[in-house]
Amino acid sequence: MPVDFTLIVVLVIALALVFDFTNGFHDTANAMATPIATGAMRPKVAVGLAAVLNLVGAFLSTEVAKTVSGGIIREGDGGVQITPEIIFAGLIGAIVWNLITWLRGLPSSSSHALFGGLIGAAIIGIGFQSVDYTVVVAKVILPALIAPLTVGVVAFIATRLAYFITRRDTGRADGRGGFRYAQIFSSSLVALSHGTNDAQKTMGVITLTLIAGGVQSVGSGPQLWVIVVCALAIAIGTYTGGWRIIHTMGRGLTDVKPAQGFAAETSTAATILASSHLGFALSTTQVASGSVIGSGLGRRGATVRWGMAGQIALGWVLTLPASAIMGAFAAGFALLGPVGIVIDLILGSLVVVLLFRRAQRSRISHDNLHDIDDAGRVVKIRKTPRKIARRDRKKVAL
Amino acid sequence: MIDWAAFVVVAGASLLGSVVVVSLYSLGLRLLTSAGRALVVDPQSFTGAITILTPKRAAKEARRARKTASANPLTVGQKRLALVGAYACFVLCVGAVLYGVYLIVPALHR
């Protein structure tokens, strides 16, 4: 029945765009929390800028989209037949898990939820051989482990450098306030890089659906209209999510100094941009958290709160398998045919509505800032009074 | 296949990019301070934001900046040189960022 077929493809595309929207909604904080916290930008400007740059970023590169659409699941000749129903189930799993973690205040990654959901759905729907595990390890799991560590080290070095170069020899002005201006640009770069990596994931899923539905040839990249709608969805999500940040900002963020924030954001942006270029589907949240921790450690008197770090790591490890289970459940229903799809939709929307109603009740305690904020709290900064010897004050800076 | 070289490229590129951008900007700030033009961010220009920098602290920093400027042992020529150096650093920093973005956009290479 061609009518049914088009309906399911349209349904999957709509669901993918909802996922894209929640992704932008969830991740505005990554880019814009630090400049708002250090007073570098007015929140309205920051959020608007983040939305526009996400839009632009989505157009810059399509490598990550190709990883998602052409690598993880073996589709086409010689592989297995992936159906739009499976992708549908995977998306339901990802969205539900994303909302659960968001509500419970668990750190998680939208990207890993997406991959977990798809993998779980494919395993139940088709079988273990349907997933190309080498690609999953090479382009999803290993980058997930390596990227936060790398970016942490990079941010540590960058922070040390920033403080070293602008060190105060004389007890007089060091000009570090000027890093506030720099943050306007560095956080913009983070927003741009978010567009190059996260918007791509949804493009990849829609492309995969079109390939599965036989509308597009196997191995081709995303079409222009797909790029445009994904870019728009993530930009609107970013803008909407930003308003939440502004409203919950009173809670206060981790103590981030302008120099530190600038170093952290530069490292985050550089890492995400380089990864996007090579088609690694990173979790932007994890990279941002890694760099906040690394840059915190680069400050004087920093110590790690290991318990907190462990909690965050646990949340990250859990995401992929947990969303895979969600996706598998949804796929189990989807296999029943049209009735199953309807059951999935009803169950999915029921969970979403329920979670949103609970979120309404506890809006202040569970907001979307928690990921980066928790990462910031991993590092404890000892307040040490700077003692500058009298004779040093005579010397003058250069 | 796991492409380890690609990981090294990503790590190297992000380290290089961050170090270059952060160093250039920091050096620019330092030279600006040496030139007696330390940047003091006026909290008035960030009215909508959470004021981390209180007016009191801003005034203190402005006083500090003036003090540095008045006690600056550099000659007028040296100060001018430092200022030119500072602007050069900022320009190079922006250039480095634009070059980095240029590198990753395939559409610009065709």
Question: What is the largest distance, in Å, between two alpha-carbon atoms of chain B?
Answer: 63
- H/E stretch holding A379 reads strand A379-381
Q: Residue A290: its pLDDT value, please?
A: 85
Q: Residue A365: its pLDDT value, please?
A: 40
* Same-domain pairing of B61 and B91: no
Within-domain flag for B9: no
* Same-domain pairing of B88 and B105: yes
pLDDT tens for residues A187-220? 888 888 888 888 888 888 888 888 777 777 666 7
**Is the pLDDT assigned to residue A75 strictly greater than 60?**
no
Q: Residue A39: its pLDDT value, please?
A: 66
CB contact under 8 A, A177 and B40: yes
Cβ-based neighbours of A369, under 8 Å, separated by 6 or more = A29, A33, A245, A248, A251, A253
**Is the pLDDT assigned to residue A112 strictly greater than 60?**
yes
* Same-domain pairing of B63 and B82: no
Nearest CA in chain A to B68: A172
Sequential DSSP letters for A97-123: HHHHHHHHT----HHHHHHHHHHHHHH
Q: Residue A3: its pLDDT value, please?
A: 42
Within-domain flag for B52: yes
Average pLDDT, chain A: 75
CA distance A134 to A104: 32
Which residues on neighbouring strands pair with residue A302, listed in sequence order?
A381
- Which pTM was predicted? 0.78
Using an 8 Å CB-CB cutoff, list chain B residues near A181.
Answer: 39, 41
Whether chain A has a CB inside 8 Å of the CB on B34: the answer is yes
Within-domain flag for B66: yes
A249: exposed, middle or buried (C-beta count within 10 Å: 0-12, 13-18, 19+)?
Answer: middle
CA distance A87 to B1: 25
Using an 8 Å CB-CB cutoff, list chain B residues near A254.
Answer: none
pLDDT-based confidence at A395, cuts 50/70/90?
Answer: very low
**Is the pLDDT assigned to residue B23 strictly greater than 80?**
yes
pLDDT tens for residues A36-65? 766 667 777 888 888 888 888 888 877 777
**Is the pLDDT assigned to residue A172 strictly greater than 80?**
no
* Same-domain pairing of B84 and B31: yes
pLDDT tens for residues A342-391? 777 788 788 777 777 766 665 544 344 455 566 666 666 665 544 444 44
Look up residue A131 and give its DSSP letter: B
Distances (CA, A) of A96 to A2, A19, A276: 29, 10, 26
* Same-domain pairing of B80 and B29: yes
Within-domain flag for B101: yes
Nearest CA in chain B to A278: B6
CB contact under 8 A, B22 and A262: yes
A225: exposed, middle or buried (C-beta count within 10 Å: 0-12, 13-18, 19+)?
Answer: exposed
**Is the pLDDT assigned to residue A92 strictly greater than 80?**
yes
Q: Residue A198: its pLDDT value, please?
A: 83
Q: By residue range, what is the domain housing residue B103?
A: 21-35+75-110
Both ends of chain B: CA-CA distance in Å? 28
Within-domain flag for B12: no
Which residues on neighbouring strands pair with residue A381, listed in sequence order?
A302
**Is the pLDDT assigned to residue A79 strictly greater than 60?**
no
Q: How many domains does chain B have?
A: 2
* Same-domain pairing of B52 and B105: no
Nearest CA in chain B to A141: B2
Which pair of structure tokens corresponds to residue B48? Answer: 């909508």
Using an 8 Å CB-CB cutoff, list chain A residues near B21.
Answer: 186, 266, 270
Q: Which of A279, A90, A94, A264 is nearest to A190 (CA)?
A: A264
Q: Residue A370: its pLDDT value, please?
A: 52
* Same-domain pairing of B30 and B80: yes
From the CA of A241, how many Å to the nearest CA of chain B?
17
- B43 Ramachandran zone, left/alpha/beta (phi>0; psi -120 to 50): alpha
More confident residue, B81 or A103: B81
Within-domain flag for B60: yes
ipTM summary value: 0.76
pLDDT-based confidence at A267, cuts 50/70/90?
Answer: very high
Average pLDDT, stretch A305-313?
Answer: 76
| Low-confidence winner among A9-18, B17-26, B64-73 (lowest mean pLDDT) | B64-73
Q: Residue A153: its pLDDT value, please?
A: 92
* Same-domain pairing of B31 and B79: yes
Whether chain A has a CB inside 8 Å of the CB on B73: the answer is yes
* Same-domain pairing of B58 and B107: no
Q: How far is CA A91 from the centre of its chain?
A: 16
CA atoms within 13 A on the CB side of A221: 11
Please give the backbone phi and psi of residue A339, each rounded to the nearest 5 degrees, phi first: -60, -40
Look up residue B45 and give its DSSP letter: G
* Same-domain pairing of B31 and B46: no
